[in-house]
């Protein structure tokens, strides 16, 4: 709270990259665990993770503490431009939609959808590299670097939808649906619940709405996330592409593993994006308020 107030008061925009870096370092283990659950097929395989705690224990035992930080470089490189694109394009789409007959509530959701689709195009190559590294169960020391992995993907499959941009449709769905609900729910509910004159209560009001927004968005968009991980991760049979497109992958997972397989990794995803989504919206609110007041 104090840091946010200082940020707004002094306009120190350099805090944003630091916030992104701290959040990634703290939350990345949950992202690794989420990906591991999403790419495993059933629990009949003796190497499958049986539960969240089993996944944490197994990774720590077999891959060490650094196993939880596999694929961390792509998010670090992409996170600041990703968030800049998210919030900048949201504002631009919102301005454009204000000129249409859409109601304010619908316009906010559509602006969120547009910002998510734009964001997805930017981050997808980084996601491809990240997921391929997170899926690797070798020791952290034996794993290729992010740059070496990116070069390998480009050399074997190029930059297109079979290479560095595979899973793009799933990423579009994941980010589009998430941001549509994320922004739409937050701003509509925030406007419906009276503000408090007490700064602490007002902060808690916004944080709670942001937490609910991130949690609901994560629950709704996770089938796209599972499809993305299956397409970008290792295929069941090396050399044979089983998971090809977003909805084909969803249908295949549902047919072979059941409905709940489309929600694999939901708990670590909520643990990360629930509070993370709340913090992100609060930073956005305070920064926007400062900019509107001073510029």
Mean pLDDT throughout 255-283?
90
The per-residue pLDDT for range 248-259, each reduced to its tens digit, is 999 999 999 999
Q: For 31-58, what is each residue's pLDDT tens digit?
A: 999 999 999 987 666 778 989 999 999 9
First to last CA, the chain: 23
Q: What is the mean pLDDT of residues 167-184?
A: 96
Sign (positive or negative) of CA dihedral 31, 43, 253, 133: positive
**DSSP assignment letter at 145:** P
Long-range contacts, stretch 240-245, CB < 8 angstroms, 24+ apart: 241/162, 245/169
How many whole angstroms separate alpha carbon 228 and alpha carbon 259? 16
Which residues touch 235 (CB under 8 Å, ≥6 apart)? 241, 242, 243
What does the pLDDT average to over 218-224? 97
Angstrom distance (rounded) from CA 55 to CA 33:
7
Distance in angstroms (rounded) separating the CA atoms of residues 53 and 29: 12
Per-residue confidence (pLDDT) for residue 2, from 0 to 100: 38
For residues 280-286, give the mean pLDDT: 77
Measured distance CA(182)–CA(92) in Å, rounded: 17
Domains in the chain: boundaries: 2-290
Helix ranges, 193-245 (H): 199-232
Confidence class of residue 292 from pLDDT cuts 50, 70 and 90? confident
What is the spatial distance between Cα 286 and Cα 292, in angstroms, rounded to a whole number?
10
E-state strands within the chain: none
* Residues 146 and 202: beta-carbon distance below 8 Å: no
Q: Are 35 and 68 in contact (CB under 8 A)?
A: no
Integer CA distances (angstroms), 294 to 8, 9, 92, 131, 202, in order: 10, 10, 19, 41, 22
How much is the mean pLDDT over the chain?
87
The average pLDDT across 115-129 equals 96
Neighbours of 16 (CB within 10 A): 17
CATH class assigned to 2-290: mainly alpha
**How many Cβ atoms from other residues are within 10 Å of residue 106's Cβ?**
14
Provide the pLDDT for residue 218.
96
């Amino acid at each position: 709270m104090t840091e946010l107030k200082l940020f707004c008061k002094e306009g120190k925009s350099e805090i944003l990259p630091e916030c992104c870096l701290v959040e990634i370092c703290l939350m990345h283990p949950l992202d690794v665990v989420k990906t591991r659950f999403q790419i495993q097929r059933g629990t009949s395989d003796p190497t499958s993770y049986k539960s969240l705690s089993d996944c944490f224990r197994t990774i720590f035992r077999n891959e060490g503490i650094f196993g939880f930080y596999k694929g961390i470089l792509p998010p670090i490189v992409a996170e600041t431009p990703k968030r800049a694109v998210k919030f900048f394009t949201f504002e631009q789409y919102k301005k454009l939609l204000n000129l249409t007959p859409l109601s304010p509530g619908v316009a906010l959701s559509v602006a969120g959808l547009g910002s998510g689709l734009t964001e997805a195009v930017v981050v997808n190559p980084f996601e491809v590299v990240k997921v391929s590294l997170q899926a690797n169960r070798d020791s952290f020391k034996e794993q290729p670097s992010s740059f070496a992995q990116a070069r390998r993907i480009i050399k074997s499959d190029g930059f297109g939808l079979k290479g560095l941009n595979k899973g793009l449709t799933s990423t579009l769905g994941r980010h589009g649906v998430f941001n549509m609900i994320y922004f739409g729910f937050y701003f509509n509910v925030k406007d419906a619940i009276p503000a408090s004159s007490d700064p602490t209560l007002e902060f808690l009001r916004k944080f709670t709405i942001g937490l609910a927004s991130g949690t609901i968005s994560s629950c709704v968009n996770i089938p796209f996330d599972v499809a993305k991980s299956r397409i970008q991760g290792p295929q069941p049979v090396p050399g044979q592409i089983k998971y090809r497109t977003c909805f084909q992958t969803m249908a295949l997972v549902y047919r072979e593993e059941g409905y709940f397989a489309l929600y694999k990794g939901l708990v670590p995803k909520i643990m990360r994006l629930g509070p993370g989504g709340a913090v992100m919206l609060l930073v956005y609110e305070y920064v926007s308020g400062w900019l509107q007041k001073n510029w």
